[in-house]
Amino acid sequence: MRCGPLRRPPRTSREAIAAGIMLAPEDRRHTGLILPMSVKTNLSLASLRRDRRNGLFRNGRAENRVARSMIELLRIKTSNDRQLVRYLSGGNQQKVVLGKWLCLAPKLLLLDEPTRGIDVGAKEEIYKLIDQLARQGVAILFASSEMDEVLGLADRALVMHEGRLSGELSRAELRRGSHHATRDR
């Protein structure tokens, strides 16, 4: 169930999810995934409450549907949906973290270092996904320490220093910075 405009900030993760706010944390292996569980289980974790049968029981058909659709949509490279998520590459693990939330159609997707520790090919796929989601109207707020990522993806950048806002760059300023960064190489 979706809530209307936020009257107050969510106090719990359940309230945030109900409001359409999802988080892909920086440390996917410790806080984004349950490593000893399957790809299917990890992909369907966020939608278990929504998809249960008779209000109580897990819905295996819905879990299978979610897993198949996210594996296909995100091009997750796995031998099958029963493969333990711990054995996937870092990029495919990150796709599972994202897929877990995408099946709930987020309004706001918070991404903390979304491409840290993944290969170049997976980065490009995740960049394309972020761009596609933004074009579909999903608000994306991401934190990144990679300047190329910020220059390539952001419409606006807020610069933090020692926990305080120290600057703001518009899309035009970011594009000028991207041009200078490319030219200076």
- Taking the CA atoms of 151, 104, 23 and 35 in sequence, report the sign of the dihedral they define: negative
Query: Tokens 């987020």, residue?
Result: 106
Name the strand (E) or helix (H) holding 109. Answer: strand 108-112
Query: Would you identify the CATH topology of the domain 13-145?
Result: Rossmann fold (3.40.50)
What is the CA 149 to chain-centroid distance, rounded?
15
24 forms bridges with which residues in the sheet? 111
Break the chain into its structural domains and give their ranges: 13-145
Q: At residue 60, what is the residue type?
A: G
Per-residue pLDDT of the chain (185 residues; tens, 9 = 90+): 444 566 788 999 889 999 999 999 999 999 999 999 999 999 998 887 787 767 667 778 888 999 999 999 999 999 999 999 999 999 999 999 999 999 999 999 999 999 999 999 999 999 999 999 999 999 999 999 998 899 889 999 998 889 899 999 998 888 886 554 443 33
What is the CA 133 to chain-centroid distance, rounded?
10
Query: How many other CB atoms sit within 10 Å of the CB of residue 99?
Result: 24
- Measure the CA–CA gap between 71 and 56, rounded to whole angstroms: 26
